[in-house]
Structure 1
Amino acid sequence: MLSCSQPEKMGVIQSGEIWPDDKGVHINAHGGGILFYDDTYYWYGEHKADSTSAAMVGIMCYSSKNLSDWKNEGVVLPVEKNDTTSDLIQGCVMERPKVIYNQKTKKFVMWFHLELKGQGYTAARSAVAVSDSPTGPFKYLKSLRPNAGRLPFNMTAEQKAVFDTLDIEHFAKWWTPDWREAIKKGLFVKRDLAGGQMARDMQLFVDDDGKAYHIFSSEDNLTLHIAELSDDFLSHTGKYVRVDPAGHNEAPALFKKDGTYWLIASGCTGWDPNEARMFSAPSIWGPWTKHSNPCVGPNSELTFGGQSTFVLRLPGKKDAYIFMADMWRPKKPSDARYIWLPVQFKDGKPYVEWMDSWDLNFFD
Structure 2
Amino acid sequence: MNAQSANSPGKGKDIVPGGVWNDVDGKYINAHGGGVLHYNGKYYWFGEHRPDKGFSTQAGVTCYSSTDLCNWKYEGISLAVSEEAGNDIEKGCIIERPKVIYNEKTKTFVMWFHLELKGKGYEAARAGVAISDTPAGPYRFLYSGRVAPGRYPQNMTTEEKAIVWNMDDYKEWWTPKWREAVNKGLFVKRDLKDGQMSRDMTLFVDDDGKAYHVYSSEENLTLQIAELTDDYRKHSGKYIRIAPGGHNEAPALLKRNGMYWMITSGCTGWAPNEARMFSAPSIWGPWTQHPHPFVGKGAEKTYGGQSTFILSLPGDKFVFMADIWKPDSLMYSRYIWLPIDFDEAGKPVIVWQDSWKPGL
Q: Same fold (TM over 0.5)?
A: yes
Distance in 2 of aligned mates of 1:360 and 1:27: 19
- Identify the residue that residue 124 of structure 2 maps to in structure 1: 123
Q: More deviation in 278-287 or 149-158? A: 149-158
Partner-residue secondary structure (3-state), 2:335: strand
Kept in 1, the 8 Å contact 2:262–2:279? The answer is: yes
**Cα distance in 2 between the residues matched to 1:178 and 1:37:** 49
Match of 2:17 among 15, 18, 24: 15
- Structure 1: 5+ residue stretches without partners: none
Aligned counterpart, 1:66:
68
Residue identity in the other structure for 2:322: A
Q: What is the distance in 2 between the residues matched to 1:39 and 1:158?
A: 50
Query: Which residue in 2 is equivalent to 1:246?
Result: 245
Q: Deviation per CA, 1:303-342, whole angstroms, max 9, x where unpaired?
A: 0000000000102x1x210000000000011110000001
Q: Corresponding residue for 1:146?
A: 147
> Deviations along 1:269-328, whole A, 9 cap, x unmatched?
00000000000000000000000111111011110000000000102x1x2100000000
Q: Which residue of structure 1 lines up, in the alignment, with residue 3 of structure 2?
A: none
Counterpart of 1:353 in structure 2 is: 351
Deviation, structure 1 residue 73? 0.1
1:218 aligned residue: 217
Q: Aligned to 1:69, what secondary structure does the other structure show?
A: coil
Q: Deviations over 1:5-64 (max 9, x none)?
A: xx9xx8111111111102101111000000000000000000011001210110000000
On the 8 A contact 1:35/1:100 being kept in 2, the answer is yes
Q: Give SS of 2:340's match.
A: strand
**Partner of residue 332, structure 2:** 335
Q: Report the residue type matching 2:122 in the other structure.
A: Y
- Residue aligned with 1:111, SS: strand
User: Mean alpha-carbon deviation: is it higher for 84-93 or for 183-192?
Assistant: 84-93
Deviation at 1:210, TM superposition (A): 0.3
1:50 to 49, 52, 55: 52
- Gaps spanning 5+ residues in structure 2: where? 1-5
Percent identity of the aligned residues? 59
Q: Deviations over 1:241-288 (max 9, x none)?
A: 001000000000011010000000000000000000000000000000
In structure 2, distance between residues paired with 1:3 and 1:274: 25
Q: CA deviation at 1:165?
A: 3.3
Say if 1:308 and 1:326, in contact at 8 Å, map to a contact too: yes
Partner-residue secondary structure (3-state), 2:182: helix
The 8 Å contact of residues 167 and 187 in structure 1, kept in 2 or not, is answered as no
Confirm or deny that 1:2 pairs with 2:7. yes
In the alignment, structure 1 residue 30 sits paired with structure 2 residue 32: yes
Q: Is the 8 A contact 1:49 1:334 kept in 2?
A: yes
Aligned residues: 354
Residue aligned with 1:188, SS: helix
Q: How far off is 1:87 after superposition?
A: 1.1
User: CA offsets, 1:147-190, max 9 Å, x none?
Assistant: 100000232323334xx233322211111111011000000000
User: What is the alpha-carbon distance in structure 1 between the residues aligned to residue 296 and residue 128 of structure 2?
Assistant: 37
1:126-137 pair list within 5 angstroms: 126-137=127-138
Q: Give SS of 1:165's match.
A: coil
2:304 matched to which residue of 1? 305
1:104 equivalent in structure 2? 105
The CA distance in 1 between the partners of 2:104 and 2:310, in whole Å, is 21
Hey, what's the Cα distance between the residues in 2 that align with 1:158 and 1:194? 19
* Contact 1:2/1:68, CA 8 A, preserved across alignment: no
Q: Secondary structure at the match of 1:330?
A: coil
Which residue identity is paired with 2:317? A
> CA RMSD of the aligned region, Å?
1.5
Q: Secondary structure in 2 aligned to 1:359?
A: coil
Counterpart amino acid of residue 273 in structure 2: N
CA contact (8 A) 2:253 2:263 kept: yes
Aligned counterparts of 2:331 and 2:164: Cα–Cα separation in 1: 47
Residue 360 of structure 1: CA displacement? 2.2
Measured after TM superposition, the shift of residue 3 of structure 1 is 6.5
Measure the CA separation in 2 of the matches of 1:215 and 1:304: 24
Match status 1:84 vs 2:89: no
Other-structure match for 1:184: 183
Query: Could you tell me which residue of structure 1 aligns to residue 195 of structure 2?
Result: 196
| Structure 2 Cα separation of the partners of residues 313 and 146 of structure 1 | 27
| TM-score calculated relative to the size of structure 2 | 0.96
TM-score (norm 1): 0.95
Output the CA distance in 2 between the equivalents of 1:141 and 1:221. 25
In structure 1, the residue matched to 2:167 is: 168
Q: Give the Cα separation in 2 of the matches to 1:16 and 1:160.
A: 46
Q: Secondary structure at the match of 1:179?
A: helix
